[in-house]
Amino acid sequence: MWFFAISIALVIIFRWVPVPVTPLMVIRTIQQKNNNEPFAWKHDWEPKGNISKHLKLAVICSEDQNFLTHNGFDVEAIEKAIEYNKKGKSTRGASTISQQTAKNVFLWPQRSWFRKGLEVYFTFLIETIWSKERILEVYLNSIEMGNGIYGAEAASQYWFKKPAVKLTQSEAAAIASILPNPLKCRANPATYYIQKRKGWIVRQMGYFGTLDFNKKQDERKKN
């Protein structure tokens, strides 16, 4: 009962209050200390109005194109991932932005059924209590975007020496390109692989069109 009460209270609080720190940030700091690496922790919370619309669209197009219409879980993507993983050559995930946000803010980056169960629980909570705009805002302020770099503002300053609100389409796509592996990939200067991925994201942004939360959520209600 205490777990349910505290978890629900936290989700309600973070509906309005900026998330100051996440478990991953603490874990990375401990890893840096244990490996005798230089301390790196840059995290500057910015409200959604101070984050480029290009970056919002870029992460949706690269990470979860059905974000605005699903209820936290993309069933079609999960089914495709299961079929792909059966082939055994490599593993493909199907986590939505909502699931990633739940994991980043409330949990730890470990692969286990227990942690996955908690992820489902917190995903359900944030989808119920937060709006899609709030989920994306928290995601963009909490996601790891480089070594010791957390959130859109820190990433924009680190990779392009400018505030997140001024990111261009190309720059936003570059940052979104490194999200699958932010510790090994770099947004600027981009490698050949990141350049190709960035081009794919820009094309997807063109296909997606304008980012309209109200229109998409109206469509979800009709369905």
- Which pLDDT tens digit goes with each residue over 166-175? 999 999 999 9
Let me know: does 129 contact 170? Beta carbons within 8 Å: no
| Single pTM value for the model | 0.90
Domains for the chain: give ranges and CATH numbers.
Answer: 40-213 (1.10.3810.10)
Model confidence at 128: pLDDT above 90: yes
- Which pLDDT tens digit goes with each residue over 6-22? 999 999 999 999 999 99
Identify the pLDDT of residue 89. 57
List the helix and strand counts (H, then E) for the chain: 11, 2
Mean pLDDT of the chain: 90
Enumerate the β-bridge partners of residue 42: 149
Q: What is the DSSP string of 39-93?
A: P--EE----GGGS-HHHHHHHHHHH-TTTTTSSS--HHHHHHHHHHHHT-SS---
- Amino acid 157 reads Q
- Which pLDDT tens digit goes with each residue over 18-32? 999 999 999 999 999
Residue 100 makes CB contacts below 8 A (sequence gap 6+) with 63, 139, 143
User: Burial of 189 by CB count in 10 Å (0-12 exposed, 13-18 middle, 19+ buried)?
Assistant: exposed
In the block, tokens 């050949």 appear at 192
Identify the pLDDT of residue 91. 52
